[in-house]
Structure 1
């Protein structure tokens, strides 16, 4: 793997020239491209994969936004201020308030824009709540899958005539004192091309696929299953270090404690929030599952064998089937069904007496010994169960940016024509895993992509 580097010695002649150059064709990169094109800018997107996918395609494709027209149509009263408060509360007030306000305050405009201008058929998830969100504000496409989202954005870019060059990984960033001059990209055959640009937007996500950086910054999750995109190698972090950029909260990450094992299929956290529980090999619960799915990764990995079992019922499964991943898990036999707890225990190789007692101890309408409050919907047959493990999904720390999404140096000065969004930029998930509020990743991706793309003021001086 070629180590990303920064150079001040320029090639004799660049092979290509463009105005706005974007590294990465995930949600952030393609939103940035659409936004930049509307400013009559010359736009080029470079993507390392054969086709755009990235972390977006691996997600549920849900974007939180407060005050959208879709929310209003669904009778949901929400505001950017309330959304910002939820973000900060989940992150224990460890975030930069200006960044929280920037993301929360611009999310609704992005959803309305993508809906109205590009026809993306978003709708609000209205049949269950995500931990930490005080309103139902998760917006997704019909299949509730990131793959559908990435394909819809790619179609929008194609319809707009935008150039996305795939199979090219950015390896070198060319610079002078306070601006970016261009990049070098490497093709699958090892060939190198250089691209001159007026400004550069880094939308190349985080560093979860770089095991050395993960071990350095988040050793507590180093041994977890890597469930993110293998292309997340940390170029933005490494370039940022070389440029003297301000890198913040590199220990922050999104985990998930509900990945079907060994199938490697994400099981929506709705199976828990709607009244399901997690038990270990002994058939016993071991934590307050209502805290969230990100911190669930370490909770599950701490159990014997680094695994757990999500237990729910058919009522909950019916809600979960709006997610394509859940239907896939059912199709491959990852989810077991039984008409009695004893039969379900046998199917999952769990002690029947212990599992029976665990489910009997659930406090309907009250608070249990872990501090979790349950609704008045007890689990009823047919029961469902799936073996799960914990995983690292993506990192949340990165380059500090200003209100225009420009990258800042450690001294607070902006690098004139360098922008960042999505996983390349520092997010709003605090300093660890417990600060991750559902949808924070795509929130940063689409909002910062939109903001970075439409900036006309900071271009390279020649």
Structure 2
């Protein structure tokens, strides 16, 4: 007897799934068909699936429950409890082909095979850029029209789309991945903002000029100062904007290169990126922003006068089609996971690990260059000093800001922990083993929630005494270093390296250490933009209707970005790009 899948309990479904898989069902789709019919997952007409796979994923949750219901705290690793948030089930579970364990895009979890792991593997739907199909879509003309198209659903893209929608524009937000978030989802530090209520509450003296001076100094004075000043002047409004959408940005920390505490983040020590993306996802849904996943924009289409006519988008299920728009916002992120681009622009980084999301492949740069956009600082790439050695996991800069010390393999400090990223990376690479350790105690773990995640990932060495930690890690001089640092911290003066802020000593067991090394973190350059976020052509004139924000752009950070300025960049310039794009569409 066939039973409609939605009538089964979660337990029954899981038991049946396991039994059917072991009995030889060739795919998840076949399992569902055997249990009921294709309508267990699909709406009629069967075979017409939206690129975002919204209906199918709703069916998954109606039957199996949401991630909270599926979470299993007894497992050593629970794939349904992830910093990625409430993403599509089909991100991993493929109905008609081999499943894909998305966590291992960044991690290296040793897990048992997923159900139907023996299903036939298929080439990725977006593996190629089919120029003939792109041209046919252009020749056919637009099949849909909107006011504003936003390309890329990270923080910059969501902020642009929400801002444009609130300004009265009809907006479509395209994202090539099966879930939103981009690199912003991985952000662990915070949002640098100046003259906020949070700073005032703590009595922190700060100014827009100080923010600008710190960013310019960090960027080796190669930043576009006008853009930096805009970011500083609108940073407090950016915090207020996020809070109005539901974010908590009450905690304050100090990041490297900043003269005061101005890095805003959620209270309780949660990572800032997942929190902001979760807030923006919910806000976009409330504002009825049309967010389409599995939709890669592959061409910017121009009118005869070189103004924006629209885009060609390649949908996972809908194929190639042209969508007309009055304006387009590029918010596609950088190229930190495009090995060819990295090897071309910065050959010395070609073999370096990367902390970037796999979606950071430089699509927006390619799209813009194809229509004659100008680039700025395109060959500058930032190496982050503290990526977990032999991994792609970023150890947040705020771990040092909260109180960790950084030592070499002998256990000796060699630089101020609060220096800029480029100087810290250079200093690590000059050590004999070209890696370092971050060392901290239980006090930091209690203040910094994300550190527990590093422990969960098996990245931390742990001991009951400093001497025991030194023995475990081979850092023979660590006890002497910790004693000296605790003395500096008690006196409020780092006599060794001039660290200006030492909020914690190292005195509360257990003691921890994590091995770190530099890796690709942020691509500094990209599309050249005006103060109004307009993309500039090779003659430095705006391309009418084309805007950009976030890591796809250059000029904001110069040759080196300060920690906490990326989120500020995406929020401030994302909002500005969306507002300007909406105004352009309205006036056209």
- Provide the secondary structure at the position in 1 that maps to 2:379: coil
Q: How does 1:177-256 map to 2 (within 5 A)?
A: 177-188=305-316, 191-256=319-384
CA contact (8 A) 2:218 2:420 kept: no
Report the TM-score, using the length of structure 1 for normalisation: 0.88
C-alpha deviation, 1:66, in angstroms: 1.2
In the TM superposition, what whole-angstrom CA distance separates every residue of 1:76-109 from its partner, at most 9, and x where no partner exists? 3433222112211222222111111111111211
CA contact (8 A) 2:246 2:279 kept: no
CA contact (8 A) 2:257 2:418 kept: no
Structure 2: which 5+ runs fail to align?
1-126
CA contact (8 A) 1:224 1:301 kept: no
**In 2 relative to 1, CA 175–328 (structure 1 residues): closer, same or farther, beyond 3 Å?**
same
Cα distance in 2, alignment partners of residues 183 and 346 from structure 1: 59
- Provide the secondary structure at the position in 1 that maps to 2:142: coil
Alignment pair present for 1:458 and 2:581: no
Alignment pair present for 1:411 and 2:548: no
Q: How does 1:56-135 map to 2 (within 5 A)?
A: 56-60=184-188, 62-116=190-244, 118-125=245-252, 128-135=253-260
Match of residue 439 from structure 1: 564
Q: How does 1:46-445 map to 2 (within 5 A)?
A: 46-60=174-188, 62-116=190-244, 118-125=245-252, 128-142=253-267, 143-176=270-303, 177-188=305-316, 191-262=319-390, 264-301=392-429, 303=431, 306-321=434-449, 324=450, 326-348=451-473, 350-352=474-476, 354-360=477-483, 362=485, 364=488, 365-366=492-493, 372=499, 375=502, 378-382=505-509, 383-431=511-559, 435-445=560-570
C-alpha deviation, 1:24, in angstroms: 0.5
Structure 1: which 5+ runs fail to align?
none
**In 2 relative to 1, CA 422–373 (structure 1 residues): closer, same or farther, beyond 3 Å?**
closer
Which stretch shows the higher mean deviation, 267-276 or 366-375? 366-375
**Higher percent of residues as strand:** 1
Which stretch shows the higher mean deviation, 327-336 or 286-295? 286-295
**Higher percent of residues as helix:** 2
**In 2 relative to 1, CA 89–7 (structure 1 residues): closer, same or farther, beyond 3 Å?**
farther
C-alpha deviation, 1:26, in angstroms: 0.6
CA contact (8 A) 1:28 1:203 kept: yes
C-alpha deviation, 1:286, in angstroms: 4.0
C-alpha deviation, 1:73, in angstroms: 3.7
**Runs of 4+ more than 6 Å apart:** 4-9
**In 2 relative to 1, CA 132–305 (structure 1 residues): closer, same or farther, beyond 3 Å?**
closer
Cα distance in 2, alignment partners of residues 134 and 183 from structure 1: 44
C-alpha deviation, 1:61, in angstroms: 6.0
CA contact (8 A) 1:427 1:440 kept: no
Cα distance in 1, alignment partners of residues 556 and 422 from structure 2: 14
C-alpha deviation, 1:359, in angstroms: 3.9
**In 2 relative to 1, CA 83–308 (structure 1 residues): closer, same or farther, beyond 3 Å?**
same
**In 2 relative to 1, CA 10–188 (structure 1 residues): closer, same or farther, beyond 3 Å?**
closer
- Provide the secondary structure at the position in 2 that maps to 1:11: helix
- Provide the secondary structure at the position in 1 that maps to 2:584: coil
CA contact (8 A) 2:407 2:436 kept: yes
Alignment RMSD: 2.8
Cα distance in 2, alignment partners of residues 36 and 75 from structure 1: 35
CA contact (8 A) 2:166 2:287 kept: no
Cα distance in 2, alignment partners of residues 339 and 219 from structure 1: 43
- Provide the secondary structure at the position in 2 that maps to 1:197: strand
- Provide the secondary structure at the position in 2 that maps to 1:290: coil
Cα distance in 2, alignment partners of residues 234 and 411 from structure 1: 22
CA contact (8 A) 1:20 1:199 kept: yes
The structure showing larger relative contact order (alpha-carbon pairs under 8 Å, at least 6 residues apart) is: 1
Which stretch shows the higher mean deviation, 386-395 or 299-308? 299-308
Report the TM-score, using the length of structure 2 for normalisation: 0.70
In the TM superposition, what whole-angstrom CA distance separates every residue of 1:146-192 from its partner, at most 9, and x where no partner exists? 11211110100001111100001111121134212111122336821
Cα distance in 2, alignment partners of residues 4 and 287 from structure 1: 50
In the TM superposition, what whole-angstrom CA distance separates every residue of 1:192-243 from its partner, at most 9, and x where no partner exists? 1221111000000111111111112223333221111111111222233223
Q: Alignment length, in residue pairs?
A: 451
CA contact (8 A) 2:194 2:206 kept: yes
- Provide the secondary structure at the position in 2 that maps to 1:289: coil
